[in-house]
Amino acid sequence: MTRLATREAAEARKDEVQRRGRGLGWMSLGLGVAQLAATDTVRRISGVDDSPTSRAVVPLVGARELVHAAGLLTSRRKGIWAWTRVAGDAMDLASLGMAIAHRGGRRRRRLLGVTGAIVGITVVDLLTAVQATRAKEIGSMPAVRGLRGGGPMELTATTTIRKPPPKVYAFWRDLDNLPTFMAHLEEIRSTGDRTSHWSASAPFGTNVEWDAEIVDDSPGEKIAWRSTGNADVPNAGTVRFVPAPDGVSTEVHVVLSYDIPGGAIGKAVARYFGEEPHQQLDDDLRRLKQVLETGEVVRSDGAPWGKRARKEFPQRPAQPLSDAEFAKGAQA
Partner 1 sequence: MRANTWAGRNKVKVRDVPDPRILNERDAIVRITSTAICGSDLHLVDGYVPTMQNGDVMGHEFMGEVIEVGRGVDPGRLRVGDRVVVPFPIACGNCGACAAELYSCCENSNPNAGIAEKMFGHPVAGIFGYSHLTGGFAGGQAQYARVPFADVGPLKIESDLTDEQVLFLSDILPTGFMGADLCDIQKTDVVAVWGAGPVGQFAMDSARVLGAAKVIAIDKEPYRLQMAERAGHTTINFDEVDVRSRLLELTGGRGPDKCIDAVGMEATHGAAHIHAYDRVKQAVRSETERPHALRQAIMSCRSGGIVSVIGVYGGFLDKFPAGAWMNRALTLRTGQCHVQRYMKPLLRRIERGEIDPTRVITHTLPLDQAERGFEIFKNKQDNCEKVVLKP
Picking from 94, 97, 95, 71, the residue whose alpha carbon sits closest to that of residue 83 is 71
Smallest distance from partner 1 to CB 281, Å: 11
Residue 65 to residues 31, 86, 95, 223, Cα–Cα distance (Å): 7, 12, 15, 62
Smallest distance from partner 1 to CB 321, Å: 6
Picking from 186, 188, 225, the residue whose alpha carbon sits closest to that of residue 204 is 186
CA-to-CA distance for 55 and 40, rounded, in angstroms? Answer: 8
Q: Which is nearer to partner 1, 52 or 317 (CB)?
A: 317
Q: What is the DSSP letter of 322?
A: P
Smallest distance from partner 1 to CB 246, Å: 7
Q: Which is nearer to partner 1, 160 or 228 (CB)?
A: 160
Q: Which is nearer to partner 1, 25 or 277 (CB)?
A: 277
Q: Which is nearer to partner 1, 60 or 298 (CB)?
A: 298
Q: Which is nearer to partner 1, 101 or 327 (CB)?
A: 327
Q: Which is nearer to partner 1, 264 or 318 (CB)?
A: 318
Picking from 218, 219, 217, 221, the residue whose alpha carbon sits closest to that of residue 196 is 217
- Contact positions toward partner 1, by CB under 8 A? 160, 162, 246, 249, 279, 282-283, 286, 289-290, 293-296, 298-304, 306, 312-313, 315-323, 325-326
Smallest distance from partner 1 to CB 293, Å: 4
Q: Which residues are bridge partners to 99 per DSSP?
A: none
CA-to-CA distance for 20 and 82, rounded, in angstroms? Answer: 10
Smallest distance from partner 1 to CB 331, Å: 17
With a CB cutoff of 8 Å and minimum separation 6, the contacts of 201 are 184, 185, 186
- For 153, phi and psi rounded to 5 degrees? -140, 130
3-state helix, strand, coil in the chain (%, to 5): 55, 20, 25
Smallest distance from partner 1 to CB 242, Å: 15
Q: Which is nearer to partner 1, 176 or 312 (CB)?
A: 312
Picking from 114, 113, 125, the residue whose alpha carbon sits closest to that of residue 27 is 125
Smallest distance from partner 1 to CB 159, Å: 9
